Amino acid sequence: GVAYEIHDAYEGAAASAEREARLSMALDIAGYTAWHLDARTMALELGAGVRVDFDLGDSPQIAGRRAMRRLVRADAQLVVGAFRTAIETGADLDVSFRVRHPSGQIRWMRAVGRCSERDGQVLVGVLGDVTASRATEGQLAALGEATS
């Protein structure tokens, strides 16, 4: 009866919460956070760690334009173009770009995502700080040039 339906719904919600917690932990271990962008309203939902680190406010939803203010100006057109292409064509998004941290430090970020709705106006994905790996790539390239 009704008691079993309530119990089943509760167990389903608990399992869903557990899956979400595991996914969040895995993303955190990898140094990534999930994001969600509604291109119609430019509402961006971004993980707490990135919001706090980049002083973007406490609310999970922020204006996408506010987050874009952190972009290094020279990379803004690249980022906007990559998001626009993903929205207009349905192609997966994969873009690396620089942002200015509130401390003034420049960091490299990588956003990977895809459209999640048929109308192509909502994108979901992950965002991570790839500064260390970019530095390693540069060191390896320099080492390769030095040994050539």
Instruction: Name the token pair of 28.
Output: 């955190």
- DSSP H or E segment with residue 4: helix 2-30
Residues 6+ apart with CB under 8 A from 23: 34
Pick the residue with more confidence: 48 or 32? 32
Residues 6+ apart with CB under 8 A from 121: 38, 39, 40, 87, 115
Ramachandran angles phi, psi of 124, nearest 5°: -130, 150
**pLDDT at position 86 over 70:** yes
**pLDDT at position 96 over 90:** yes
Question: Rounded CA gap, 66 and 128, in Å?
Answer: 18
Question: Rounded CA gap, 67 and 65, in Å?
Answer: 5
* Residue type for position 127: L
pTM value is 0.75
Instruction: Name the token pair of 141.
Output: 């390239």
Question: Rounded CA gap, 132 and 57, in Å?
Answer: 25
**CB-CB neighbours of 131 under 10 Å:** 16
**pLDDT band per the 50, 70, 90 thresholds, residue 2:** low
Residues in the chain: 148
**pLDDT band per the 50, 70, 90 thresholds, residue 67:** confident
